[in-house]
Structure 1
Amino acid sequence: MDGWLPTTLAVIAGLLSTSSFIPQVLKAWRERDTAAISKRMYCVTVSAFILWSVYGFMIGNLPIIIFNLLSLALSGAVLFLKIRNDRRDGHASPPHREPGMAGTG
């Protein structure tokens, strides 16, 4: 298969997936309302983009590197805003309790 087709598909996929984070970043930034955003989901997403970026560097694939670093920056911004707003609003997560331990302590 020609080298241009996989690269073209990677660039299109990267543009689409990376741009999907922009509305969330803008909404969280403008409205300062991140109550409906899952902190756990964004922690997993940020971790995944870190790993994909490392993988891209390991195999030397520029589209994987570029778009995962951009997605990491955008999803990291959402996570930062979520954490900042939770702290500002006093909505820090309660301490984790083991099942069956409710009411103790």
Structure 2
Amino acid sequence: DTADIQESPPSRPLCPICDDPLPETPSEELQAMLDWVKTVSKPSPVPDCPDHHTPNRLSNVIIVCERHKLESDIFPLAIAEGWPFNPDFGGLHSRVTALR
């Protein structure tokens, strides 16, 4: 009987808006956004995400969702490709001209 099957709890905390897993180490910026979005949304727990919130306005969550996607999907790809997270823009011009 599938009613008796219980899913294991998520290995990472879930987003209070979309219920998807958060990055393993959310940035301070994302964490601040998540804390803020909870102040402008209504708690509405669901079985899989007791910290779920329903936004009062969609515009309040768009930037939070974009940051969540960036840190969950894009940053891991960038890291895998060796992209710098703190590029040296001061030396960029000389590096580009050296390629000629």
* TM-score, normalised with respect to structure 2: 0.32
Higher relative contact order (CA 8 A, sep 6+): 1
Which protein shows a greater Rg? 2
Q: When you count helix as a share of all residues, which structure comes out higher?
A: 1
Which has the larger strand fraction? Answer: 2
The TM-score, its normalising length taken from structure 1, stands at: 0.31
